[in-house]
Structure 1
Amino acid sequence: MISANDLIAYTSDSANTCANEELQQRLSMYQVFLKLYEHNRGLLNEILRLENSGSKSLAGVALPYVQGIVLDQQIYLVTNLLGGKTQALVQPQEVWTIGRDHRKVGIAIQDGCLSRCHASIQYINDQGFYLKDLGSSNGSFLNGEQIWRSVALKDGDRVRLGSLAFVFFICQTAQILEPLPSEVLTHPASKPEERQSLREAPHLHFARSAMPPHKQSNFPTVKPLQETFTFRHPETEY
């Protein structure tokens, strides 16, 4: 039979073990953050920024991205890095520079960890999009690895420039969908409860495309996209 003293001793030993494990975990976490502080302060700042914003609601938060578009001889980037608003950026030389100095780069972002002219994304015919570091102070990283030369970008790549992080996507094909059946477009009469549900639902506004349905062959060109995107032509001076 277990005595009261044995039970007290067992409980005390268990508590000490749990306390030691928690102390070890905290010490390990401290060592990780210390190494980040010494070797990669930009990544540490990004982790702390995400931690500080973690308590806020994610509703309405736009995740940073850049998408390279190659369709019908038209090359451009679509991104929300500029003020959080999606824009299509056309660059005559197909080189999009990123940094702090708006006089030297096409995509200027006020981030203290970015160099004035930090990195570039370039499109090379028949090869694709490439990321290149332009001698930045805090480095350019692709999928967690620092790059020292021009590196090809793939769909879904994670890019970090200083503390600026975004995902890169590529779109090189377009698909023309079949015309909708007439009964779908005519909206047949619905039941009273369905009509009530529709009245209570938020109104959605869709931009109509200037392209005739299933007739346009050279999709998309710059002109139709002007209805849904704001085009911006960055300065060509680097």
Structure 2
Amino acid sequence: MSDKLDLGALAEARQYVRWVKRMRLTYRVESAAKPEVEVPIKQTKVESVTEMAKPRAANVPSKIVKPEWEGRPEFAALAQRVDACRKCALGATRTNAVFGVGDPNADLVFIGEAPGANEDASGVPFVGNAGNLLTRELAKNGVSRDEVFICNILKCRPPNNRDPLPEEIMACEPHLLEQLKLLKPKFLCGLGRHAIQTLLKHEVKIMKIRGQWETYNNLPLFVCLHPAAVLHQPQNRALFEADIAALAKAYHGRDRGGA
């Protein structure tokens, strides 16, 4: 066995530590800058954190296991482990864990940052207007949503849709890696700046690297604008359409891009 240090791995580890420290500092500064606002609480029955952490009752079906996974028991088992996960505080505040949806044998996996309110309520990622836009653009390029897999890095919604905390990412990213191990996809597509930064472990300028190929977990990772961001900035709609078209071309095998 060699005693030599892997300088590349060491540099990458140091870069990751610096990135985590910056994320923590940014969150603290932003939180300190926001005045506290007292929000009236509706008088409804609220479960305690202890109650929320209890295993789901056998007669209460989880939304996390999908019918299309019937032939993949190991996939359904992972989904149930995610549903029971309490490795960070988000497990006690979310309505549903959002494991992902789609073909468990998919060659293409889309990865967003975290569930929003609609996803938390439904247990399904990328629903609502942003999800509809993604679905339409895929269909336009000959890709059905049913033949891909769609998930997020975080499986639980951060309160008020705030950015994920470093400790939440570190608690949840192993679930993503387990998903990819079972899925064995050929392509990944990261949606939006926050997801890409988390996957690459460094800050990025999404408008500079969108449409390009990177690597995550030894898999080709395509950088794409987030459909929700496009809805807020319609001037970027053509760029998003170009991103999806380029990805679909690679997926169909005509241009493997970073593969």
- Shared fold (TM-score, shorter chain, > 0.5): no
Higher share of residues assigned helix:
2
What is the TM-score with the length of structure 1 in the denominator?
Answer: 0.20
What is the TM-score with the length of structure 2 in the denominator?
Answer: 0.18
User: Which of these two proteins has the greater Rg computed from alpha carbons?
Assistant: 1
Higher share of residues assigned strand:
1
